[in-house]
Amino acid sequence: MAKSHPNRFLAAISHKSRKHLLSTSSEVELGTKTVLHESQTRPSHAFFLTSGLASVLAVTTVGFAAEVGVVGREGFTGSLHLIGPVDTPTHCRMQLAGAAIQIPFEHLQKAFYQDDDLHRHILEFVQVHTHILSQVAGCHSIHGASQRLTRWLLTAQDLTESSTIDITQEVLSEILGTNRVTVAAAAGSLQRDRLIEYRRGHIHILNRKGLEAAACDCYSTVKELHEGLYL
């Protein structure tokens, strides 16, 4: 049945649309740091995640990076490339290992212009994804590292449905756009408040309600946008 598909986007579209898309698909395992598409480059494939979490990163010319969005089971990677000729300046790679349905990007793009149901759902996802990119970019400039970390942990739990997150300080520093010392201080503060258990390479969420109380309002905005998809 459609609604049982682990990817929410593929579950939401019509049976006809899904069957056509999946006719050229393959299942792939995606390890941490697997590059899904480079900045300023058109993707070769779109990845419809069935587990794990991908990160959309803004990268400067000197190599600094900060996460401005995530993609989980609610959607697919490379969506902004579908709606115009300009290649996006963002980079996308896996932050939490998982699996995906891989579909050639050219096949998806042709279907986008030919299939009204698919077209409508893609535009809905792109709109929500763009709103989230804007919200997260604002969060980076307005809120401190502890609040940004709290927002990210809650969003990661929402999208992966797991209270245990395998992630290093190095990756977290890139996600938050800061250094490892700041990440360690932010995580240490949450651990002292008994909201998380933090050990090298692993974070376990102990008190979700406490994290929600400590999070900035960006989290609730992002959560509402994700929950409102495909209703």
Within the chain, all domains assigned CATH 1.10.10.10 are found at: 144-215
pLDDT of residue 231: 86
197: confidence class by pLDDT, cuts 50, 70, 90: very high
Look up the CATH number of domain 2-139: 2.60.120.10
Within the chain, all domains assigned CATH 2.60.120.10 are found at: 2-139
Q: 10-36: per-residue pLDDT in tens? A: 999 999 999 999 999 999 999 999 999
Give the domain 144-215 fold. Answer: Arc Repressor Mutant, subunit A (1.10.10)
Range with lowest mean pLDDT among 14-28, 38-52, 54-68: 54-68
Closest CA to 67 of 140, 143, 129, 131: 140
Question: Does the model's pTM come out above 0.75?
Answer: yes
